[in-house]
Amino acid sequence: MNNKILNFIATIVFTFLFGLFLPWWSIMVAAFLSALLLPLEKWSSFLVPFSAIFFYWGIQAFVISSRNDFILAGKISELLQLGGSPDVLIFVTGVIGGLAAGIAAILGRETKVLLLSKT
Amino acid sequence: MKYAKLLLSLLGTLGIFFLLNTKIGALPPLGKFLSPASGIWQNETDESISGEVMIPGLQEEVVVHYDAQLIPHVFAQNDHDLYKAQGYLTAKHRLWQIEFQTYAASGRLSEIFGEGALEYDRTERRRGMGYGADQAMAYMEKYDQETLAFVQDYADGVNAYINQLEPEDYPVEYKLLDYKPEAWTAKKTALLLMYMTKMLAGGDDDLEYTNTLRLIGKENFDLLFPDFFDVNDPVIPKETDWSFIDVPQTPSPGSEAVLDTIKETISKPNPDNGSNNWAVSGAKSSTGNPILANDPHLGLNLPSIWFVMQLSTPEYNAFGATIPGALGVISGFNQHISWGETNATRDVIDWYKIEFNQDRTQYQYDGSWKDVKVRVEEIKIKNQAAYIDSVLYTHHGPVVYDKNFKSDSEWSGYAMKWVGHEGGNNQKTFLQLNRAKNYEDYTAALQYWNAPAQNFVFASTEGDIALWIQGKFPNKWEGQGKFLMDGSKPENDWQSYIPQAYNAHTKNPERGFVSSANQHPVDEAYPYYVFNDGYETYRNRVINDFFNSKEEFSIQDFKDLHNNNDNLKAAELVPYMLETMDASGLTADEKVIYEEMKAWKFNNDIDEVGPSIWRQWYGKLYGLVWDEFDSEETALASPYTYQTIYLLKNQGDHKFMDIVETEDKTETAQDLFLLAFKEAAARLKEIKEEEGSYTWANYKGTYAGHLLQGLPAFSRFDIPIGGDRNIVNATSENHGPSWRMIVEMSSPPTALGIYPGGQSGNPGSKYYDDFIDDWAAGEYHSLNFLQSSEKTDKVIETQTLKPARDE
């Protein structure tokens, strides 16, 4: 398995573990840590954790919401002026989580670069 | 380079964290808000209503059965457990609402919304909302420790729920506004009751009347604002014998009104706040059992102002509508009696002009100086330093208007005398009504009730029906408190109160029914001064005519009356307008509308166009008649609808009919009919072009708005229901029958009830607004009155509340 897949999986596993005791920004800690342990190159260092959390949050949101006929998702989508579509809200949820994770992962990579150059 | 990149990515990380963790403007903190584990996705569910829950402080197990409407049926073994359970369950389904309402009551909205709410908060502080709640608490501490203990039980129940919550469990509104629930206290229940008092007895026009009197003189004032209209079908039947009353009305000291100019007054509750209730005796009932009905008309909000519960212990078993935040059932029934309220609409607010000394530490009274008390109100503001407002208190009450608030007078102010500040024991009345077995228990319960004065309707399985107008009423001299009074003269103070036993009431009247619809409580024969506080003049006549129209009444008749859309107001003016208006010069378009109006049978059903034409026509007409009152310089009162129509029909050439602007012409009522009609027709044409039609449902667009400034995503729009204000089905745009109940006094009673909302306060729950469609269609739900804690086929889930052992 290459690092991309490993990083993807690690980001999700860490998010799950940190999520047990940390609030929403557990995704940022998880992505940071994955980047430290499993560094990626160039755009991948952002895109892989982004995708991991995009899917992790998106799928969770979808599963939770589908059990309740998407009642609240539709209303929150209207509230945030996303047109009232639950799908759009789920997509936005994934993007927001993905962005936070991706940027934290870049910080992780830069930290790793610095650490490596010192040793 | 490496360091620069690191720094940049660090800044990026901190930046995105800050952006997604902070509320920016109206936008919630999006990371927190959308996180599946802690954000709104956790609210995408119904409340859990099964299993067991541990509650600290419970003495014994409490069984809670839920039926398909999500109504909790609570079976407790004692009173303390019952009110703990009520607090717990109310919080479970309505936490954000109960807390938000007490923030609103006490003038604390700036804590949530920031500076934009400061004016509102200052008004509530100066109105003495917190002061009134303090007086109620002091009363209970001194005289009624038992009730206070129950209120504390309720608080413990609410807190037991709050303490079980993790941030992900908070209602969605907390997440949206990014704050969290605080502990509930006994005083919050007192504040909630003040909120109700303000809603129903917090309106008055004394200062507007003062301006109006100054402007138009006494003769005109008395014409526009008479103490009695020429029709009066009072709450207490006219033939009532008052000879038992032996305490006279306070003699008039001959005081003069203080004719100040008041530019601006504080916000008032919606004048449409009112209600219907009625009961027929066994003899007038098709089943032989008395039947009772109640429908309080309030703002249509989500979550609804009502939460339906069954509350029982081995001693009693009550069922009906509760108000989240207060204990017991407010409008409902038990195994023996049923009761409901309408607003008695009495003038229990008066205003006094206060003259201060040079440093505003004393004020003039009875030829000498009296000390001012200062209540310092600290208003916390989100993201800002607190605002300190020092409110001066006289023996009358708080000086609401002074140089710091809506007035520029350095050395004087206006103090408010309000029965809401007197520290009553309203909670006790409901606790006692819930337990009452007969007429005697009902009257005993009422004596604790001070304000807002209510028409309490009553029926019992023993066959009695009754109606008491209960409140604490000052025994006023003739005309007292109609206008601003001189606060330095002792004779202007409230001299005494009407003894409670002399409050107007009726028991088993000969006509076989009792009813109230916010009309005049009595006729001229009642020996105390009752000021016309804007009494309703239409619904009461439709209701009473209906009950005088035949011998027997069934449940179906009651339903029909709740849903009655007859527009008596229009029926009393439209034929006269059509008959006397010169319609010869109407355009073809106007002619169509004219014919539509002619064809209308004065019925406000959803597919009629007549009600929309009437609204436009009368609205424009009212503005033209009272153009004299269109002033931005002073706050003026709006003349009554009934009296306006009376003048249009009987004094069509009165000088008020003349439009002030047109100097060369003197208009009469007939001219105004035509002018108003043409303006209305033009507007109706626009509406038709914009919206396709002006059928009543379309025109009115009834909606139930979320408590948070009508947040559209959490509101329901275009609810297809007829009616209007001054109609028995009193549904206007955002106001109407907020709870409809019909109870037949069989043994045990059988009841129907519905309200425009749902039991859950969670916009993500299917129970959030699931009653609205049935309510709009005029349908009812059977209230499943369980006779024991045994599970029946109506029960869908059961939750047991268990005493938590001390750890």
Give B663-706 as a DSSP string: TT----HHHHHHHHHHHHHHHHHHHHHHHS---HHHHH-EEEEE
Residue A15 has pLDDT above 90, yes or no: yes
Q: Which residues of B are annotated as a binding site for Ca(2+)?
A: 347, 350
What's the confidence (pLDDT) of residue B156?
Answer: 98
Compute the nearest-CA separation of A56 from chain B (Å).
9
Closest chain B CA to residue A46:
B9
- What 3-state DSSP class applies to B803? strand
**How distant, in Å, are the alpha carbons of B154, B244, B292, B450 from that of B445?**
20, 22, 19, 12
A38: closest CA of chain B, how far (Å): 17
Q: What is the least distance, in Å, from the CA of B341 to any CA of chain A?
A: 35
Interface ipTM: 0.97
Q: What is the pLDDT of residue B798?
A: 97
Cβ-based interface (< 8 Å): residues of A facing B: 19, 23-26, 28, 32, 57, 60-61, 64-65, 67-73, 75-76, 78-80, 89, 92-93, 96-97, 99-100, 103-104, 106-107, 109-111, 113-114, 117
- For B518, half-sphere exposure in the C-beta direction (CA atoms, 13 angstrom radius) is 30
Contact B766 A79 (CB under 8 A): no
* Interface contact B763-A111, CB threshold 8 A: no
Mean pLDDT rounded to a whole number for chain B: 95
pLDDT of residue A1: 59
Contact A71 B766 (CB under 8 A): yes
Is B711 in contact with A73 (Cβ distance < 8 A)?
Answer: no
Cβ separation A106–B3 shorter than 8 A: no
Q: Which two tokens stand for residue B790?
A: 């045994």
Give the burial string for A84-96 (b: 16+ CB within 10 Å, else e). Answer: bebbebbbbbbbb
Q: Identify the bridge partners of residue B174 per DSSP, sorted by sequence position.
A: none
Which residues face B782 on adjacent strands?
B752
Q: Mapping DSSP to helix (H, G, I), strand (E, B) and coil, where does residue B433 land?
A: helix
- Reading the block at residue B786, the tokens are 């369980």
Is B267 one of the catalytic residues?
Answer: no
The whole-angstrom separation of Cα B150 and Cα B313 is 14
- Token output for B89: 């369950």
Span A73-96, pLDDT tens digits: 999 999 999 999 999 999 999 999
A107 chain-B contacts, CB cut-off 8 A: 6, 9-10, 12-13
Range of the structural domain that residue A102 is part of: 3-118
Coil, strand or helix at A70: coil
Which of B565, B577, B550 has the alpha carbon at shortest distance from B601? Answer: B565
Out of A75, A99, A117, closest to residue B16 by CB: A99
User: What is the total count of domains within chain A?
Assistant: 1
Pairwise CA distance, residues B44 & B365, whole Å: 61
The pLDDT of residue B396 = 97
Q: Give the separation between CA B148 and CA B426, rounded to whole angstroms.
A: 12
B235: helix, coil or strand? Answer: coil
Pairing of strands B51-56, B795-804: parallel
For chains A and B, count residue pairs whose Cβ atoms are closer than 8 Å.
122
Phi and psi at A5, nearest 5°, equal -65, -40
CB contacts of B764 in chain A (<8 Å) are 68, 71-72, 75
Using DSSP, state whether B496 is helix, strand or coil. Answer: coil
| Contact residues on chain B for A80, CB-CB shorter than 8 A | 27
| Active-site annotation holder among B110, B275, B612, B732 | B275
Quickly count helices (H) and strands (E) in chain B: 21, 29
CA distance A39 to chain B (A): 15
User: Nearest CA to CA, how far is A33 from chain B (Å)?
Assistant: 13
Nearest-by-CA chain B residue for A82: B713
How much of chain A exceeds pLDDT 90, in percent? 84
Helix (H/G/I), strand (E/B), else coil: B655: helix
Helix (H) or strand (E) holding B380: strand B373-381
Best mutation target among A71, A95, A109, A118 (most B Cβ atoms within 10 Å) is A71
pLDDT of B531 reads: 87
Q: Quick check: B40 and A103 CB within 8 A?
A: no
Angle (nearest 5°) at CA B764 between B762 and B766: 90
* DSSP symbol at B138: H
Answer whether residue A119 shows pLDDT above 60.
Answer: no
* 3 state SS for B708-753: CCCCHHHCEEEECCCCCCCCCCCCCCCEEECCEEEEECCCCCEEEE
Whether residues A72 and B35 touch (CB distance < 8 A) is answered with no
pLDDT of residue B634: 87
Residue of A nearest to B10 (CA): A107
Strand pairing category for B62-67 and B781-783 = unpaired
The annotation places the binding site of B at 347, 350
Do B9 and A64 lie within an 8 Å CB cutoff? no
Question: Which residues in chain B land under pLDDT 70?
Answer: 806-807
Whether B31 sits inside 8 A of A25 (CB atoms) is yes
Contact assessment for residue B401 and residue B413, using Cβ atoms and an 8 Å cutoff: yes
> Which residue, among B332, B330, B537, B539, has the nearest Cα to B454 in the 3D structure?
B330
Residue of B nearest to A60 (CA): B36
Q: Are B611 and B699 in contact (CB under 8 A)?
A: yes
CB atoms B6 and A114 under 8 Å? yes
Residues in B whose CB is inside 8 Å of some CB of A read 2-3, 5-6, 8-10, 12-13, 16-17, 20-21, 27, 30-32, 34-46, 167, 172, 176, 711-714, 762-766, 768
CA distance B184 to chain A (A): 26
Chain A nearest CA to B706, separation (Å): 12
* Bond prior to B167 in cis (omega within 30° of 0): no
The half-sphere exposure of B299 on its side-chain side, counting CA atoms within 13 A, is 16
Burial group, residue B540, by CB count within 10 angstroms (0-12, 13-18, 19+) = buried
* A94 SS3 class: helix
- Tell if the CB–CB gap between A24 and B17 is shorter than 8 Å: no
| Closest residue in A to B11 (Cα–Cα) | A107
Q: Give residue B237's region: left, alpha or beta (phi > 0; psi -120 to 50).
A: beta
Between B31, B714, B764, which is nearest A100 by CB? B31
Task: Decide if pLDDT at A118 tops 80.
Answer: no
Q: B41, A114: Cβ pair inside 8 Å?
A: no
d(C-alpha B377, C-alpha B390), whole Å = 6
